[in-house]
A and B are shown apart, each in its own frame.
Chain A
Amino acid sequence: MPNNPLALIGRSVLSIFGIAGRLTLFTLESSSHCFRPPFYPKLILHQMVKIGFHSLPVVGLTAIFTGMVLVLQTYTGFSDFAAESSIPIIVVRSLTRELGPVLAALMVAGRVGAATAAEIGTMRVTEQIDALTTLSTNPYKYLIAPRLIAGFISLPLLVAVAEIIGVMGGYLVSTYKLGFNPTVYIQNIFDALETLDIVSGLVKAAVFGFLIVLMGCYHGYNSRGGAQGVGAATTNAVVSGAALILVFNYIITEAFFSK
């Protein structure tokens, strides 16, 4: 009975549990291979360059303009209350805690999540993944684990650079356009910045890096049916990656800052 509403609900619930189960198994299987030899240091390095280094331009661009806009917007609000001296604090805190990791991760989700899904998806539909298995090479170990490790390591590095660029963007607008005293501005930043701000931001970045690559690999690995399947996998990888970034951003913030 295709039109039975109860059957429809039942099918949807089952398929949700099915997806959750498959994703959990995939995550466990591929994570476990990150800790078991053989390791592929060359592949990890290669992926770090692709994920981290090649994302620098787009992430740097995002960061510098975010920092600049942030200063302009806070200035229009804060100058009404003569609270301009709080601007450096606001800028550096929001960049390190939130905007740096989240915006950088969203940009990387678009670049790397899509590329990973397309590459692994194409390998799946052209039987290259089956070929790996017949050549005594575990595809989880050879294809997925190096990417996961690279994502986990390179996103914090990328985000650290992005935060510095973002703060610098704010500094430029504050001092050249709004007439802040450069020395005082920098002093304010260092006074306001706490270890927790930086650590929480970098922990977020590492988790986001893992999630982006995981989604790319999962959807690519399970893609079916030629070019169309790979296209769908790419879209799903980006959308689910971005959604998970936002959800986990809340969870990690809650873990670090809720009292």
Chain B
Amino acid sequence: MSNDRPKIEVRGLRKSFGSKIVLDGADLHVAEGESLVVIGGSGTGKSVLIKTIIGLLEADGGSVKIDGEEVTTMRSRDRDRVLRKIGMLFQGSALFDSLPVWENVAFGLIQGRATDRREAKDIALAKLASVGLGADVAGLYPAELSGGMQKRVALARAIAANPEIIFFDEPTTGLDPIMADIINELVVQCRTELGATTISITHDMVSTRKIADRIAMIHGGRIIWEGPVAAIDESGNAYVEQFINGRAEGPIKMAVRES
């Protein structure tokens, strides 16, 4: 595979809900094996951005190319093939509460890829071990686990099929600082072990500095700044500076009410 072609290329992506414009021509490109973190305030369209890239939401316009293939206009069979390259960690973990932990982790293997159940269970146990969970957890149900453990299980599920691309939707939100750091470590570890390309969205700057190669800031439905993680402190961009320093005063006006 040629290295000059970006793994993921997003151009002019637009998405609105009713009269509310969420994405207004967002552009992104992520090289193979790179970790891009998209930062931005709450309600700036971070989640919508990655859901539109994956195809969970239909784009109103613009283009999304994964490995050079246009996915926004793909037929469902081709899209299934592309989805097999992708794993995603959801903000609320989104574990299936009717299934025990190991079946959650093995779900994509058993249902999506028709792997033999016993083989899938072995893989699930190995993946659980790689996120620091023992075999004793495998038979429990998600409701019996703490938030941090649920996040680990969700992470094991996202990487179970060794995806080429992983999306992380606010991986550390709602966790205490120690558990957040553990998850950050695991995110970095997953990426180095699998060699996957990752896009994360977060508003947690500690997490961002730990997991990012490159940072992009989204505001008003567009990417307003993009650069390597080392450059974030000298961005020269008033929006970025306000955000990373967490100041109430500045060009970003937080919408208190949903318009």
Contact = CB atoms under 8 A, between A and B. Distances in A.
Interface centre among A130, A135, A136 (most CB of B within 10 A): A135
Interface in A122-137: 123, 126-128, 130-131, 133-137
Q: How large is the interface on B (under 10, 10 to 19, 20 to 34, 35 or more residues)?
A: 20 to 34
B80 A136 contact: yes
Contacts of B107: 135, 137
A180 interface: no
B96 interface: yes
Nearest to A125: B92
B54 interface: yes
Given A135-B112, A137-B107, A137-B111, A130 B83 contact: no
B92 A126 contact: yes
Contacts of A131: 88, 90, 94-96, 157
A75 interface: no
Contact of A136 (B56, B83, B94): B83
A248 to B, nearest CB: 31
Contacts of A133: 54-56, 83
B84 A126 contact: no
A136 B51 contact: no
A26 interface: no
B217 interface: no
Contacts of B112: 135-137
A127 B92 contact: yes
Interface in A89-138: 123, 126-128, 130-131, 133-137
B91 A135 contact: no
A137 B97 CA distance: 16
A185 interface: no
B113 interface: yes
B108 A135 contact: yes
Contacts of A123: 96
Interface centre among B87, B91, B111, B114 (most CB of A within 10 A): B111
Nearest to B86: A134
Contacts of A128: 94-97
A43 to B, nearest CB: 10
Given A136-B80, A136-B83, A136-B113, A130 B90 contact: yes
Contacts, number: 53
Contacts of A126: 92, 94
Interface string A136-167: 11000010000000000000000000000000
B82 to A, nearest CB: 10
Given A134-B83, A136-B84, A127 B111 contact: no
A142 B161 CA distance: 19
B155 to A, nearest CB: 13
A20 B241 CA distance: 49
A96 B170 CA distance: 57
A150 B145 CA distance: 32
B87 A127 contact: no
Contact of A130 (B51, B113, B114): B51
A134 B111 contact: no
A38 B80 CA distance: 14
Interface in B47-93: 51, 54-56, 80, 83-84, 86-88, 90-92
A137 B108 contact: yes
Contacts of B92: 126-127
A93 B91 CA distance: 56
Nearest to A135: B108
Nearest to B91: A127
A137 B56 CA distance: 13
A135 B94 contact: no
Given A136-B80, A136-B83, A130 B108 contact: no
Nearest to A131: B94
Contacts of A142: 111
Contacts of A135: 107-108, 111-112, 157
Given A128-B96, A136-B80, A136-B112, 11 more contacts: A128-B95, A130-B88, A131-B94, A131-B157, A134-B83, A134-B108, A134-B158, A136-B83, A136-B113, A137-B108, A142-B111
22 contacts: A126-B92, A128-B95, A130-B51, A130-B90, A131-B90, A131-B94, A131-B95, A131-B96, A133-B55, A133-B56, A135-B107, A135-B108, A135-B111, A136-B80, A136-B84, A136-B111, A136-B112, A136-B113, A136-B161, A137-B108, A137-B112, A142-B111
- The 4 lowest CB-CB distance pairs between A and B, nearest first, are A136-B112, A135-B108, A127-B94, A131-B94
